[in-house]
Amino acid sequence: MADEILFYCRDCDKVVLNPKKKGDKYEYTCPLCSGDRVAFGTKHAICDFFNIKDAMLAKMLVNPVKE
């Protein structure tokens, strides 16, 4: 069973749907705040590490913030 990969911006504390990749490494830039502290991982890992409840995650994914 493959989990969904999520990107989470540590600067604006939001799930990012389309981060911009920086160079050849696994570094990403947030399109919302232009911060470079974007973490990625499975849905379960991101929720556990950043203490995001399922209801809050669902709210972030249904109503993404526009650029």
Give tens-digit pLDDT for 24-45: 888 999 998 988 999 999 999 9
The tally of domains found in the chain comes to 1
Statement: the pTM of the whole predicted model exceeds 0.85: no
Domain assignment present for residue 49? The answer is yes
Domain assignment present for residue 21? The answer is yes
Residue 38: strand pairing partners: 9
What single string gives the DSSP state of each residue in 3-29? PPEEEEETTTTEEESSPEE-TTSS-EE
Domain assignment present for residue 67? The answer is no
- Residue 4: in which H helix or E strand, if any? none
| Domain, as residue range, for 16 | 5-62
Instruction: Name the nearest CA neighbour of 15 among 35, 34, 36, 39.
Output: 39
Task: Please name the residue ranges forming H helices in the chain.
Answer: 43-49, 54-62
Once rounded to an integer, what is the mean pLDDT over residues 7-30? 90
For residue 48, pLDDT over 60 is answered with: yes
